[in-house]
Chains A and B, each alone.
Chain A
Amino acid sequence: MATTRLDLLDPAEVARLGGIEIVAQGVVEGFLAGLHRSPFRGFSVEFTEHRAYQPGDEPRYLDWKILARSDRLFVKQFEEETNLRAMILVDSSRSMAWRGAEDRLTKRAYADRLAAALALILLRQRDATGLVTFDAAVRQVVPARVKAGQWTRLVRGLLETPDGGGTAAEGALRHVTSLLARRGLVVLISDLLFDRDLALTALRYLRHRGHQVIVFHVMDRAEMELTGPPEVRFRDPESTASVVVRPRELARAYAVTVQREIAAWRSACRRHGVMYHHVQTDMPFGLALRLLA
């Protein structure tokens, strides 16, 4: 029944059903029931191609059958032998603890539940999954594992990370590099309210290391449109910065600026081979996960 598909319900309503585990499991059940195949492909010990032997190649990779048939030297090439290693990076800065209305989840709560659901999907595919939470610094690190109880550890890691202060994503991203020795999947869930150039440098570095990178740009609907009293002083929760504006007269310019920022992120990510997805906290989790399909 459609009503049991928690992945398609309003995130705030789903969140009222219980903690992160219950919500994530419910979402994943509904999500997977609606898919024909897993959205993620793991690595297997599968042959991929031949190439001409070159001096220095391991003699053990020589294809003896071809040598016997054609008297030519070819070596076999294989994919990674291990499963996917994924690291989920959740922004726990103070700006993520904000919501535009009482009936919506904070960006952090939404990110936590999305991360938990994503981790559950990956672990069910036997992919090693880890977690990094960060604000101005890295707060929690759960190394990528596939063993039993990993998901519980991940969820605990999310729960035990308090709302932090400022944001410096590039540090967390670089830290992930050290955690993922082999090529893997990196999922960044954040409101991206930090220096774009620095973050993109780190993302580019991850891509350079061969990692697949996915960015979830989480925003509250109230951040898309500027509303409020005739005149108001808006204060940045992560800094002392504040600005006095008249929302009515600045609304259009603000909306244009936000759309330009989103477009800039999307464009920069595409340019560097990073998958970018913009999600709002009132978007059902299933739809957010489906963006990866």
Chain B
Amino acid sequence: MIFLHPLVLLGLAAAAIPALLHLFERRRPPEAEFPPVRYLSEAERQSARRLKLRHLLLLLLRTTLIVLVVLAAARPLVRARARGAGGAHEPTALVVILDNSPSAGVVGDGRPVLERLRAAARASLAGARPEDRVWLLLADGVVRQGTGPGLVAAVESVAVSSRRLDLRAAVEQAGRIVDAEPLPAREVHVLSDLQRTALGEGRAGVPRGVRVLALAPFGAPPPNWGIGAAQVVGGAVTVNAVGTPGAGPRAVTVRLRGRTVGRALAAPGSAVSVTLPALGQGWWVGDAALDPDELRADDHRPFAWHIGPPARVRAGADVGPFVAAALAVLREGARVAEGSEITVGGRPGAGSSVVFPPADRALLGEANRALAARGGSWRFGGPGTPGTISAPRLGGLNGVAVMRREQIERVSGGGERGASGDSAILAAVNGEPWLVRDSNLVLLGSRLDTAWTALPATTGFVPFVDALVNRLARGEGVVSSEEGPVHVEFRSRGADTVEATVYGPDPRESDLTPASPDLVEQTLGARMLDDTQFAAARFAGTRRADVSGTLLVLALLVAIAELGLATLGD
């Protein structure tokens, strides 16, 4: 049993009042002459046992009455037995994870999923007491702390976000937050559509003693089609369709400046290519769209590309077979031409150059001296550890394995690490630069050979080489993808537009398939509960019933008994 107002228990000292009054009154009663005292003594002697019992009962009743009233005022809470029973709970640290990622915008039974999630969040926050510590975690990853009512107001204003929420990471973060609180109870409420793709990999590390409750999805989600990506390669746009696995194909419409330039059928998980009309040089923006369905956020996606004159490339003798083959393909597609505008090889040329480390480490010094002669601020360092490529702005490179590499390091006095002036780290391995643009020099940490990296064996290799010589080496930016509201942003340098970023929802959001209860249990360590179960389980681990009402009723009964016994007299 705990008490909401424990200080009131000091009032239990008042339980001694009846006994003290009794003693006090017995000491100083008024005196009076009364001749037949012998009759009184006789009457008292004969009633002694009854009177003693009555006095004892009165004393007990009065003491009990005070104790009951004081206990009721202290608001005692006892552990509630019945599930779903109302009542208070022990002070609790609570994080409500409200998944307002794009998938929460799907409409089911005429009602957005987010609306149902918001209602559940409101109920969780409204159940919080002033003694609780409460946080709200949304898809933007920002943890909001506040009071229950304050966060309820925040929940009211929550809209569908364009950002994906990694539930595993969110639960882990929430677990750490509540675990840091020195409160008797800790809970994490996961209010999400529980997409299978939102759970991530592995098991969330939830501290011991933290209860994680997950609201079960409401019914089966509708099948969904979406466009995960659209990329222009060689005069055609490749559209990747995403959505519910197994769903049939849907028509994809490609528009350019509001005019439909092509249509194709694509099923989730497949890609279709739509040939674009011949266009002049410059930046172009198109749009790939699907017919509207229950989730509108992924029904269209813009794409941007740049049309420029083909780069005139001179390949060094040491470029290797893969680069040579890629350049040959690009030459056939008129994407590159023979010339000396751009040099690709182990040593930089006079103009723009793409430089990768020499196969023989003994030649690193020579390569570095050549880079220094060009005034470069980067050079090759010692051998780097193997890893995978991380290139946020070069989608095709992400996750590609690198088995061998040379570190790329800034020359002493060359300024800060990272972007500086015309320098930019375009890709990294193990957090170390792997692809660096330094003015019109592009340095690669690995040779484009399968002995160094798996990149030449991927489908993105030719587009990568295309971007390498046509954009990166020329100082132009690439078209990158970012998570966010659907739109295109351009970056310019001087009067020239050098880079485009296409924003859209994470493709994983399009797959609305919910996770199974087992997977949720396994990944989040959470029990998946329907609405009723969830309502009953909130704070149930520490739920306590307020028994002050019962105590007051008991006190009333005791008062009636006391009154009856006291007025019954003899």
Residues of A near any B CB (own CB < 8 A): 95, 98, 191, 193, 223, 226, 228-229, 231-239, 241-245, 248-254, 256-258, 261
Contacts and interface: CB of A to CB of B under 8 A. Distances in A.
Q: How large is the interface on B (under 10, 10 to 19, 20 to 34, 35 or more residues)?
A: 20 to 34
B35 A250 contact: no
A234 B30 CA distance: 9
Given A223-B36, A245-B40, A251-B570, 11 more contacts: A193-B35, A193-B38, A229-B29, A231-B26, A232-B30, A234-B40, A236-B34, A237-B33, A254-B39, A254-B43, A256-B43
Contacts of A248: 569-570
A235 to B, nearest CB: 6
A54 B569 CA distance: 71
A199 B51 CA distance: 33
Contacts of B569: 248-249, 251-252
A243 B29 CA distance: 11
Contact of A253 (B36, B38, B46): B46
20 contacts: A193-B38, A223-B34, A228-B32, A229-B29, A233-B30, A234-B33, A234-B34, A236-B37, A237-B33, A237-B35, A242-B31, A243-B37, A244-B26, A249-B569, A250-B51, A251-B569, A253-B44, A253-B46, A254-B43, A256-B43
B18 to A, nearest CB: 14
Given A249-B54, A252-B570, A232 B37 contact: no
Contact of B35 (A95, A228, A233): A95
Interface string B44-64: 101100010010000000000
A249 B47 CA distance: 10
B40 A250 contact: yes
B496 interface: no
A165 to B, nearest CB: 13
Contacts of B38: 193, 236, 241
Nearest to A94: B35
Contact of A250 (B26, B37, B570): B570
B25 interface: yes
A244 B35 contact: no
A191 B35 contact: yes
Contacts of A234: 31-34, 37, 40
A229 B37 CA distance: 16
A248 B39 CA distance: 15
Contacts of B39: 223, 254, 257-258, 261
A253 B34 contact: no
Nearest to A250: B43
B29 A232 contact: yes
Contacts of B260: none
Contact of B29 (A244, A253, A258): A244
Contacts of B36: 191, 193, 223, 258
Given A233-B30, A244-B26, A253 B47 contact: yes
Contacts of B26: 231, 244
B54 A232 contact: no
B109 interface: no
B40 to A, nearest CB: 5
Contact of A233 (B31, B42, B43, B570): B31
Contacts of A253: 43-44, 46-47, 570
B366 to A, nearest CB: 117
Given A248-B569, A248-B570, A257 B42 contact: yes
A234 B40 CA distance: 9
A211 to B, nearest CB: 28
B570 A249 contact: yes
A243 B35 contact: no
A236 B36 CA distance: 7
Nearest to B39: A257
B270 interface: no
B458 interface: no
A247 to B, nearest CB: 9
B40 A238 contact: no
A251 B54 CA distance: 15
B533 interface: no
Contacts of B46: 253, 257
Contact of B37 (A191, A241, A251, A261): A241
Nearest to B567: A248
Contacts of B430: none
B41 interface: yes
Contacts of B41: 241, 243
